[in-house]
Structure 1
């Protein structure tokens, strides 16, 4: 009997899975750049970023101040009288847009397909980003509208990498078409599940401090370290390099501990969650006390997002342990809690630093550390790694 020749298989690096990974990476790169660009540009856009605007100052029109801290730019650069509270609202506006369209975007993705939603979202967000400078001249309210619209456009990108549109148990070929009938979601059982709420609390705490660092890091570096905008941009990039490195190293270490049976799965999840919430909290609390030391401040600012990303091997992927059938749905809810934390933390930070710059930053970091500790204690108490009863497959019985 002749054997059928096996089909030739190309190298894995040329597979559709890797191709999708590259596309999603480039999409993430573009979206995140657009998301944080205002945080860097606002140093040049706002004169006296840390000072509240006078009572009779216009929040909309640009003021010309060639002798201000943006002298390294051309003399016609606009300076806007946006108070720290206004800046906080601007930073959080993009999260409002994402929250508003979390559910509708999932429904539309089922109709038009994930790739069309991702492409349209990237195009729309890019066009809106180009309109931001013009909107700033027309008024701060229009900038807020632009940011909200950007958030709405970025929803498909924000969710798809987390598996909302593509479950981990499925193949890339099947991500555009359903392969199994729809199943009901046990919402009541989920609402009563403390291990699930432990994950949500971890997301809320993690994103609180991360949002403060991502959105206000350039402002903090410029106002506290008194460096130029060019140097501020370089320093602001270093924490992201550390975060990427720690994410990879943390994942490798977690896999090593599990593959060698050195620690149980639950222990690994809680260990990395503790490291990812406790270490950045300690660094944040120490920041106000070392503000006079340039090197120490920079090191701590790099360590905060770096150590924070150790959570990626903790509660961030814990939904795959307790409810793999609903991991995509639960990841979307978890990110919703993270976005809510980002909205609150950005607004609160703007309010706190508007009262007093020195004490305001201290209160910002103390508050972030307190939120992190609350999330850590809650997760260590109620976090689990066992498959939950409501997430188990139910055998169908025929009458």
Structure 2
């Protein structure tokens, strides 16, 4: 059968809409990307030598009820790992290694968004995660050769591979998800991060238990990423109109319901001069900084809190670290379905929905995190409160995470790159800052760190509630909206020269009607 014949067969045989195929593979992409991102938070516990524990500070940490299985110095030193040595890395070095991923992650967001808009989201996502997967597989070799320096470099490379993923997926969603389905697709794909946050610590804990080789963690998650790439390359495409075996019904439906003009025409260059002056974009960046401050603090340092303060052993730490993200994943779909229903029924606007769920995903988690810090050594209460905080963070995927495609569906990749790239600086700051605030890993020191998270979450949420927007901005489609009154920074579009030599000038319109041309 010829290639065209296969495509015609698949067109008729496949009953699953292709946007859902994209969504499912996107879910697996984000899940695996986060397992590769967070696995070091677990493995570093087994990679380092442990010195005098912090329980010498009276009342500072909780009593160790698992002494024979705990991560105390005596029990850890006695374990062998098939000849793999342990490393004498102090707390400052460990904090630097945990933040190394985000150095690469931050610097590739904007280039990734631009690449996605120029070459399409498919290969930007695919090759980015392939790079991260290969780098993850060779991490044990890098550590053996270069020690802390080798691990730092390979983690930066992993971050560089994952940096373009979010802006590229936002662009893909702008091309594939109708407005009334965006919250669900946002929860489906970006909620995959919580699958990764669940399986990353849990599977790592199993692989590391009873003296397991920490290198196996990197082999498993990196290998899964390489397998995922094969399916992604074969089944997913940049737009519905370039998909070879999408049904005609789905293609027509998407073309009628998706407003991103990238489906129908070649986009003009990114309007940076207007984009950088856009208040709704900068307010969105503020909200994302707040969320990432709390979120990255949890995914990076929560395992250390469970291990060093609450005294869970390594296997328990993996399970306890996974539970909050199970709740976050489940509730992300609850919030997404509710948001989409309200928008579809016109009970509230898209902008109002984004503000509601930004508040749900910022203010409520901030409160529960503080309550957890005051639960002391009550393990059940602490874990329950952390689970509640992360459950409400699930509203993030119906708000800040997808707001870029509301305000700029045509340039969603670049806008998302700005938002996520700048916000991801939190991933560099928070591990180091928490390390400074908790040198002895005591409850009192951690409480100060949690109050810092509370202040950032509440403050940035207030800014977004007051000034955030869910409306498409004029600079995203000048042909449709024209220039605003008082615009003094020059035209965003290049003037076209018709064949007769007369200049074609865009006349500003302010009534959202199509722009006329002379």
TM-score by shorter chain over 0.5: yes
d(CA) in 2 for partners of 1:145 and 1:26? 26
d(CA) in 1 for partners of 2:276 and 2:127? 34
Total equivalences in the alignment: 380
Tell me if 1:146 matches 2:154: yes
The residue that corresponds to 2:45 in the other structure is: 43
Tell me if 1:312 matches 2:320: no
Tell me if 1:136 matches 2:143: yes
Please point out which of 95, 100, 103 is paired with 1:88.
95
- Are the equivalent residues in 2 in contact too, given 1:160–1:166 (CA < 8 A)? no
- Are the equivalent residues in 2 in contact too, given 1:125–1:150 (CA < 8 A)? yes
d(CA) in 2 for partners of 1:41 and 1:89? 15
Q: How does 1:1-399 map to 2 (within 5 A)?
A: 9-10=12-13, 12-13=15-16, 15-48=17-50, 67-69=74-76, 74=81, 78-106=85-113, 114-137=121-144, 138-163=146-171, 167-168=175-176, 171-174=239-242, 179-354=264-439, 357-394=442-479, 395=514, 397-399=516-518
Task: Give, in angstroms, the shift of residue 160 of structure 1.
Answer: 2.5
d(CA) in 2 for partners of 1:166 and 1:314? 15
Deviations 1:295-323 (A, max 9, x none): 11111121222211212222332233333
- Are the equivalent residues in 2 in contact too, given 1:66–1:75 (CA < 8 A)? no
Q: Mean alpha-carbon deviation: is it higher for 80-89 or for 90-99?
A: 80-89
Change (3 A) 1:203 1:186: same
The residue that corresponds to 1:57 in the other structure is: none
d(CA) in 1 for partners of 2:11 and 2:134? 43
d(CA) in 1 for partners of 2:422 and 2:266? 29
Q: Mean alpha-carbon deviation: is it higher for 33-42 or for 96-105?
A: 96-105
Deviations 1:35-78 (A, max 9, x none): 111011112223448979xxxxxxxxxxxx98334656658564
Task: Give, in angstroms, the shift of residue 372 of structure 1.
Answer: 0.7
Q: Which runs of 5+ in 2 are unaligned?
A: 1-9, 55-71, 178-237, 245-261, 480-513
Task: Give, in angstroms, the shift of residue 144 of structure 1.
Answer: 0.5
**What is the TM-score with the length of structure 1 in the denominator?**
0.84
Deviations 1:316-343 (A, max 9, x none): 3223333333223211211112211221
Task: Give, in angstroms, the shift of residue 149 of structure 1.
Answer: 0.9
The residue that corresponds to 2:64 in the other structure is: none
Change (3 A) 1:109 1:329: closer
Change (3 A) 1:147 1:160: same
**What is the TM-score with the length of structure 2 in the denominator?**
0.66
Change (3 A) 1:116 1:189: closer
Change (3 A) 1:142 1:291: same
Q: Mean alpha-carbon deviation: is it higher for 30-39 or for 96-105?
A: 96-105
- Are the equivalent residues in 2 in contact too, given 1:66–1:76 (CA < 8 A)? no
The residue that corresponds to 2:184 in the other structure is: none
The residue that corresponds to 2:203 in the other structure is: none
Task: Give, in angstroms, the shift of residue 259 of structure 1.
Answer: 3.1
Deviations 1:168-226 (A, max 9, x none): 46833438997522313332333333222211111110011100111112111111221
Pair member with larger Rg: 2
Task: Give, in angstroms, the shift of residue 397 of structure 1.
Answer: 4.3
d(CA) in 2 for partners of 1:17 and 1:41? 36
The residue that corresponds to 1:3 in the other structure is: none
d(CA) in 2 for partners of 1:182 and 1:175? 19
- Are the equivalent residues in 1 in contact too, given 2:106–2:421 (CA < 8 A)? yes
